[in-house]
């Protein structure tokens, strides 16, 4: 950005500043009272490194003395970019490096006596202009540079010194952030923390909800005061929940979200049985009657003689609360933002990031593991498999249209260690290991928010329907999620599957399969000492970060194509032959049978020939379906009878698919039948 030549003059920079202030209901006279000044692009470049016109906002203490240790600038307008484009500011606000966070105390208000007068309500909002506009309207309002700018982790304080100086005990405090707070989980967490900190100081905290603007536009405190009077704002304060209830409501907002389609509560901080974070959908009834049934607070209603105290269930109050965190639907898009789509139909993304950060390091244990597992097999198989493992980690969200099956007769050879290793990168939010029976169970909560699934110890799938189900899982782009007591819903399917087995007939596949990569591990169990070293210190230490860096920056993916079929390995050929039924074997051997020089046959003719010698007889309709899987139908052929018959090309298929019906009929009529 700094390379662009400033496109504004001094007068245009002033005009940009005045227009920006006007949107907040402030004039240039207000700006002068607040000590603000316009910076030309060259000064912003000199002070903060960005060649952009800006409005400098100084900070003051409670005595209206300007502070020398902190200020902020707001970048203004746009600049011309390459090829006739318009470039927006890289960020809206800048603050000098290594300066402390601070609270904006607008100098257009008498703060010194107010800070000790607990009868005065103090408002807290995000942004200097919002606070200044509120103070101009007669409201005592402090501005935070960001929703977390009431504290400093670097300084080790949960309440900044200028806030510590205020007398909070028994003072009413109004927290008023922007109207889009319900779709910003981080803001909700900040409100929870700010509320807790102020309650510790004895404050009576209320959180004011601003209504959205037309077409769901975001509304800040300054926007609201431009179109509404102070009495209307005070009415919103009167409707806001009081301290103890407010704190609980915001705690709920930091954890739970309402999903409209289908109706459910989404617990973003739930944990699995190993106490690991795993978001969990809940029915509304289960949420109110079981999960949060015991969360109650006592609230005070009325004043004077009419004052009374009663207990309320937080969950019910939260469901009625206008600011509750709510979204149109759930989705799962690895690598994308937490909230997707517009403010009208926001979707909550179940993606929570990978479990580690990339860091260059040794991946020798991983390399040795793959070399060991692929000992004595095709070199290209090992190369392809490693690329298969890394590609969806480098390109987050990629759906590989192939699955991997690794099998061996013996146990303890490290078949599942590959999945365990990848799980350390994906994390429990994106990875799960499941038994075989969960694949076709009525309910599939395991499939929500997953990018990688390990199906361990799979046994023989000797039915075509089960094989077709697995292929559907491998290739589908959407997953129907079925969870008890919640209506079925659909999310994008980004799952890639790794299957392990101790059986050589684990998958019912044929030579035409394009979805399975099959590998047989033929070596003996590696030394236990090596496994111990693999787990600790490598896998439990720097290994996952090093492997992530390797996948993202070092591994050569060559011509790997995520939608292409995998290599047809020797192990796959052996499995194809091992799982063939009597009928499949007979059909595959047709080219070796004596067919009397004839290429085109009806299913009924071949079925009679098969059943004449088969142990298990097959109906002609079932025979025809299996025949179609291996040999193409060339269509209806006129055989000289009263009707035309459907024929299949069991030899020279390319020739007969191009031939005319007359040529096909001549061939059938000139050759013998069984």
What are the CA-CA distances from residue 460 to residues 407, 412, 572, 581 (Å)? 12, 20, 14, 13
Higher per-residue pLDDT: 411 or 102: 102
User: 162 vs 578, which has greater pLDDT?
Assistant: 162
Average pLDDT over residues 553-559: 97
Listing DSSP states for 160-205 in one string gives: -HHHHTS--TT-EEEE---GGGGG-HHHHHHHHHHHHHHHHTT-EE
**Which pLDDT score, from 0 to 100, does residue 412 have?**
75
pLDDT digits 0-9 by tens, 214-273: 888 889 999 999 999 999 999 999 888 877 788 888 889 889 999 999 999 999 887 655
DSSP state letter for 90: S
Distance between CA 7 and CA 373 in Å, rounded? 62
Tokens of 489: 């819903």
| Predicted confidence (pLDDT) at residue 341 exceeds the cutoff of 50 | yes
Q: What is the DSSP letter of 558?
A: T
Q: What is the percent of the chain with per-residue pLDDT over 70, rounded to a whole number?
A: 94
Give DSSP secondary structure letters for 597-630: T--EE-HHHHHHHHHTT-SS---HHHHHHHHHHH
pLDDT at 305: 63
Reply yes or no on whether the pLDDT at 360 is more than 50. Answer: yes
C-alpha 185 chain-centroid distance: 14
Residues 349 and 372: their CA atoms lie apart, in Å, by: 39
Residue 460 pLDDT class (50, 70, 90 cuts)? low
Under the banding of pLDDT at 50, 70 and 90, the label for residue 477 is: very high
Q: What is the DSSP string of 207-247?
A: EPPPPP-GGG----HHHHHHHS-HHHHHHHHHHS--HHHHH
Whether the per-residue pLDDT at 463 is higher than 80: the answer is no
Residue 103: which of 153, 154, 67 has the closest Cα? 67
Residue 79 near residue 4, CB atoms below 8 Å: yes
Q: Which of 607, 590, 608 lies closest to 599 in space, CA to CA?
A: 590
364-577, CATH topology level: Rossmann fold (3.40.50)
Under a CB-based contact definition with an 8 Å cutoff, are residues 449 and 414 in contact? no
Structure tokens, 406: 């690794």
**pLDDT of 569 higher than 60:** yes
Q: Report the pLDDT value the prediction gives residue 2, as an integer from 0 to 100.
A: 40
Torsions phi, psi of 80, nearest 5?
A: -70, 135
- Residue ranges per domain, the chain? 1-99, 105-349, 364-577, 582-670
501 and 459 Cβ atoms separated by less than 8 Å: yes
Lowest mean pLDDT among 92-96, 366-370, 524-528, 619-623: 524-528
What is the per-residue pLDDT across 227-241, written as a single tens digit (0 to 9) for each? 999 999 999 998 888
Q: Which residue in this structure is represented by tokens 């236990």?
A: 528
- With left for phi above 0 and alpha for psi between -120 and 50, is residue 77 left, alpha or beta? left
Residues 6 or more apart whose CB falls under 8 angstroms from that of 400 comprise 388, 391, 392, 496, 562, 563
The pLDDT tens digits of the residues spanning 388-433 come to: 999 999 999 999 999 999 999 877 778 899 999 999 999 988 999 9
Q: Which pTM value belongs to this model?
A: 0.70
Query: Is residue 147 predicted with pLDDT exceeding 80?
Result: yes
pLDDT for 629 beyond 90: no
Which CATH class for the 105-349 domain?
Answer: alpha beta
In whole angstroms, what is the distance from residue 95 CA to residue 70 CA? 8
Q: Which two tokens stand for residue 467?
A: 């094989």
Q: Name the residue with tokens 């970019």.
A: 81
The pLDDT, as a whole number, for residue 488 is 96
Residue 30, helix vs strand vs coil: helix
C-alpha span between 363 and 366 (Å, rounded): 5
Rounded to an integer, what is the distance from CA 184 to the centroid of its chain? 15
Give backbone dihedrals phi and psi of 398, rounded to 5 degrees, phi first: -65, 130
Name the nearest CA neighbour of 18 among 546, 404, 10, 206: 10
Give how far Cα 200 sits from Cα of 169, 314, 335, Å. 9, 20, 38
Q: Please tell me the distance from the alpha carbon of residue 292 to that of residue 300, in angstroms, as a whole number.
A: 21
């Amino acid at each position: 950005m700094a390379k662009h030549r400033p496109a504004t003059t001094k007068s245009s920079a002033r005009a940009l500043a005045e227009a920006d202030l006007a949107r907040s209901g402030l004039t240039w006279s207000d700006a002068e009272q607040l000590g603000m000044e316009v910076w030309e692009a060259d000064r912003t470049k000199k002070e903060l490194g960005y060649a952009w016109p800006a409005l400098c906002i100084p900070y003051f203490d409670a005595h209206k003395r300007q502070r020398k240790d902190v200020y902020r600038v707001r970048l203004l307008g746009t600049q011309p970019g390459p090829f006739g484009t318009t470039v927006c500011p890289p960020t809206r606000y800048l603050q000098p490096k290594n300066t402390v966070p601070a609270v904006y105390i607008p100098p257009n208000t008498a703060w010194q006596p107010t800070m000790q007068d607990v009868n005065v309500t103090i408002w807290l909002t995000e942004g200097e202009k919002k606070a200044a506009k509120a103070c101009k309207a007669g409201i005592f309002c402090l501005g935070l540079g960001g929703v977390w700018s009431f504290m400093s982790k670097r300084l080790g304080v949960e309440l900044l010194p200028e806030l510590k100086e205020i007398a909070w005990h028994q003072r009413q405090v109004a927290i008023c952030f922007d109207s889009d707070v319900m779709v910003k989980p981080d803001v909700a967490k900040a409100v929870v923390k700010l509320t807790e900190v102020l309650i510790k100081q004895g404050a009576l905290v209320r959180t004011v909800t601003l209504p959205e603007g037309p077409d769901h536009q975001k509304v800040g405190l300054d926007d609201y005061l431009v179109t509404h009077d102070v009495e209307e704002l005070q009415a919103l304060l009167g409707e806001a929940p009081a301290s103890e209830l407010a704190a609980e409501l915001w705690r709920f907002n930091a954890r739970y979200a309402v999903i409209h389609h289908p109706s459910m509560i989404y617990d973003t901080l739930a944990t699995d049985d190993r106490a690991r974070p795993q978001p969990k959908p809940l029915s509304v009834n289960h949420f109110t009657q079981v999960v949060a049934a015991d969360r109650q607070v006592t609230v005070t209603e009325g004043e004077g003689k009419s004052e009374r105290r009663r207990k309320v269930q937080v969950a019910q109050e939260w469901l009625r609360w206008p600011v509750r965190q709510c979204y149109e639907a759930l989705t799962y898009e690895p690598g994308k933002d937490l909230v997707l789509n517009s403010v009208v139909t926001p979707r909550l993304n179940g993606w929570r990031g990978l479990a580690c950060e990339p860091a260059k390091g040794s991946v020798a244990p991983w390399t040795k593991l793959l070399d060991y597992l692929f000992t004595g097999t095709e070199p290209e198989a090992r190369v392809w498999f490693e690329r298969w493992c890394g590609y969806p980690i480098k390109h987050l969200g990629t759906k590989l249209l192939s699955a991997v099956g690794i099998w061996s007769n013996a146990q303890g050879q490290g078949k599942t260690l590959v999945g365990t290793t990848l799980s350390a990168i994906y994390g429990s939010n994106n990875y799960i290991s499941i038994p075989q029976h969960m694949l076709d169970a009525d309910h599939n909560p395991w499939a929500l928010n997953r990018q990688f699934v390990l199906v361990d110890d799979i046994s023989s799938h000797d039915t075509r329907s089960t094989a077709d189900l697995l292929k559907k899982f491998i290739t589908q782009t959407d997953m129907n999620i079925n969870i008890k007591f919640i209506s079925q819903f659909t999310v994008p399917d980004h799952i890639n599957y790794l299957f392990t087995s101790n059986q050589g007939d684990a998958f019912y596949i044929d030579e035409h399969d394009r979805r399975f990569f099959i590998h047989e591990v033929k070596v003996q169990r590696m030394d236990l000492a090596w496994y111990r070293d693999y787990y600790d210190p490598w896998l439990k230490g720097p290994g996952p970060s090093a492997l992530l860096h390797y996948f993202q920056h070092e591994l050569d993916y060559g011509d790997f194509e995520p939608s292409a079929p995998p290599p047809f390995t020797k192990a796959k050929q052996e499995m194809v032959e091992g799982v063939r039924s009597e009928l499949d074997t007979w059909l595959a051997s047709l080219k070796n049978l004596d067919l009397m020089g004839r290429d085109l046959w009806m299913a009924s003719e071949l079925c009679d020939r098969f059943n004449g010698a088969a142990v298990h007889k097959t109906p002609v309709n079932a025979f025809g379906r299996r025949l179609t899987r291996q040999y193409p139908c060339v269509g209806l052929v006129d055989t000289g009878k009263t009707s035309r018959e459907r024929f299949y090309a069991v030899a020279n298929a390319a020739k007969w698919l191009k031939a005319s019906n007359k040529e096909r009929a001549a061939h059938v009529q000139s050759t013998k039948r069984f």
